[in-house]
Amino acid sequence: MARATYPGKCQFCQGEFPKGRMTRHLRACEKRKAALEKSEKKGRKKQAIFHLVVEGRDRPMYWLHVETRAGSTFGDLDLFLRDIWLECCGHLSNFTFREEDFDEDDFDNFEGSSPFGPPGSKVTAKKLADRVKPGDVFFYEYDFGSTTALKLKVVGHREGVMKKGDVQVLARNLPPEIACDCGKPAVLVCTECMWDEAGWLCKSCAKNHECGDDILLPVVNSPRVGVCGYTG
Ligand SMILES: [Zn+2]
Ligand SMILES: [Zn+2]
Ligand SMILES: [Zn+2]
Ligand SMILES: [Zn+2]
């Protein structure tokens, strides 16, 4: 069997490339160059911009390339990640900067955020550039019960024109093709069988699924597919 390449699409030229080649493509993409030149002609002041790759820590087939200003905050990034991939019921989330900090039971150094939580001296108010630099890897988790964990890497930086707080998607993985046991494409996933890496169901098999149909969730293009109440 061919090695999984987790292909995705460039948002500028709509070209499809394997995950491992997208960084190189984005540097060379003519359509992207044209878009950047256009945004810079407006003569606004240039700022440092970070290029980030985000992926599911345990589900690397889900990935994004994004850009945001180095002066954007972790809170801006948190909102973006919730919006595009994660938000189901306003769970807490957290950024960590060393893999050994990545421990669900360790709340001593808790720097969590929540749209409903109290604001304060949290990491969400800090600027990206205060904690990370190009080359750095850091982590994010959403929901400390049924956690979705992400890995982020600053793969590049440039000087350019962008609004503070904006997060722009440069490229995104194509929806992985997941098959039901019968061979047809899965459209629903069972939140119980999911724990055993099973439960991907086509429409007709879903009707007869032994766990019942009230615990099925739609198959969506997100590392949180099949978790909690996430419907995309
Ligand atoms: Zn392109
Ligand atoms: Zn939830
Ligand atoms: Zn089931
Ligand atoms: Zn089926």
Give the model's pLDDT for residue 76.
Answer: 95
Cβ-contact 50, 60 below 8 angstroms = no
Cα distance from N-terminal residue to C-terminal residue, the chain: 30
Residues around ion ligand 3, judged by CB within 5 A, are 190, 192-193, 199, 211
Looking at the CA of 90, name the nearest ligand. Answer: 2
Residue 58 forms part of a structural domain: yes
Looking at the CA of 35, name the nearest ligand. Answer: 1
Domain boundary among 148, 173, 198: 173
- 200 lies in the same domain as 215: yes
Residues spanned by the domain of 187: 176-232
How many Å lie between the centroid of ligand 1 and the Cα of residue 49?
A: 19
Give the model's pLDDT for residue 100.
Answer: 52
Which residue, chain included where needed, has tokens 């956690």? 147
Residue 216 forms part of a structural domain: yes
How many Å lie between the centroid of ligand 4 and the Cα of residue 58?
A: 25
Looking at the CA of 36, name the nearest ligand. Answer: 1
Looking at the CA of 209, name the nearest ligand. Answer: 3
Looking at the CA of 181, name the nearest ligand. Answer: 4
Give the model's pLDDT for residue 112.
Answer: 47
Q: Which residues of the chain have pLDDT under 70?
A: 1-3, 98-122
Give the model's pLDDT for residue 103.
Answer: 46
Residue 2 forms part of a structural domain: no
Give the model's pLDDT for residue 214.
Answer: 87
How many Å lie between the centroid of ligand 3 and the Cα of residue 208?
A: 10
Please give the tally of structural domains in the chain.
Answer: 2
Cβ-contact 111, 95 below 8 angstroms = yes
Which residue, chain included where needed, has tokens 């007869």? 208
Give the model's pLDDT for residue 2.
Answer: 55
Residue 3 forms part of a structural domain: no
How many Å lie between the centroid of ligand 3 and the Cα of residue 197?
A: 11
Q: What is the CATH number of the domain that holds 229?
A: 2.10.110
For 60, half-sphere exposure in the C-beta direction (CA atoms, 13 angstrom radius) is: 8
